[in-house]
Structure 1
């Protein structure tokens, strides 16, 4: 099975060119995220891909650290930052547990990555560790439907192990919204906002506040 970094390296160029399918919903959650950031805040995004969202949010924060497990994603992200003239950011190649970064951060972002993390408990514990007490953890995560879902989901699930075996798909964890929220609260967070935008979206947007130990 292909490693996570190699998988994302292979598709980085195509990923960078992909367009946002639902611009209205993306802009809405972007605005919600921006509302939790302060002009002097230190922000970290894990699993940021080529950094598109982090670069959009950079003007609303003091400094943004952008990480991804894929060196190629990070290379493309650096090019984007230079092209866009965004200077209050830095990039690091790191997995979701960002062991080489110490923080503390006022906000940690994890957009479209938690379902791709193999050790979610360790990742959530690490996020809690590097967040300032009272800081926010903001995520958007694919969650499996508990009722009737789109046909494509049910078609892909049985094929996923085969695709993973031949290097055509990454690790994916299938959690319900309830399971994801329980995991987050079990690691020292209080959820202050949770929703799907639009309501039929299978990715859950969650804002959770760091509760001191």
Structure 2
């Protein structure tokens, strides 16, 4: 975890300036997510990065808690939220393992572009399931590293060896769906904008 924090602290400024590669898919994911929201909902986003998505979603819910392992990411996120006039987000540094939340305390949990960066996916999904209220939703968008073309699968370890890429696991579509089901979730919506990524809304 220390190595992950150092990597994201080091790359926070560059990450915050990077553009979204597929804006149409991103906007579709936002729209689908917001179809589930209610104005009084309490929502958790873990691995929020520089806060862009949390800030977009915040006006559609009552309260958001956005967390990240990186202090530097959260510094950027707080500035962006202040500049946007968004006041119903609480930013907290930490991980699903390190932060203390009561079970069944969130109506929705967002894990966007984060599951493929975790070493213990099963533990994270189990924690998310416990944090959700009955009937709550878990929204995830995940890179499917095992389904990427072979060039990327060869390049990633090289980038990691020189500190240009973080840890990534080798989740594939079937593996991820199976782990969600084993954690107790029911898949409500599944969409793949490309074969190497998947967007899922799962219900408790």
Structures share a fold, TM > 0.5?
A: yes
Q: Secondary structure at the match of 1:35?
A: helix
Q: 2:167 aligns with which of 168, 171, 178?
A: 171
Q: Tell me how far 1:65 sits from its aligned partner.
A: 0.3
Provide, for residues 85-112 of structure 1, a one-character-per-residue CA deviation record: whole Å limited to 9, x for no partner: 0001000011243532226100000000
Report the equivalent of 2:197.
203
Report the equivalent of 1:157.
153
Q: Tell me how far 1:145 sits from its aligned partner.
A: 5.7
Contact kept, 8 Å, 2:49 with 2:73, in 1: the verdict is yes
Report the equivalent of 1:137.
138
Name segments (4+ residues, structure 1) moved above 4 Å. none
TM-score norm. by structure 1 comes to 0.90
TM-score norm. by structure 2 comes to 0.94
Report the equivalent of 2:10.
10
Partner Cα distance (2:133, 2:61) in 1:
15
For structure 2, the 5+ residue unaligned runs are none
For structure 1, the 5+ residue unaligned runs are none
Partner Cα distance (2:64, 2:178) in 1:
28
Provide, for residues 41-64 of structure 1, a one-character-per-residue CA deviation record: whole Å limited to 9, x for no partner: 000001110110111000110000
Contact kept, 8 Å, 1:55 with 1:86, in 2: the verdict is yes
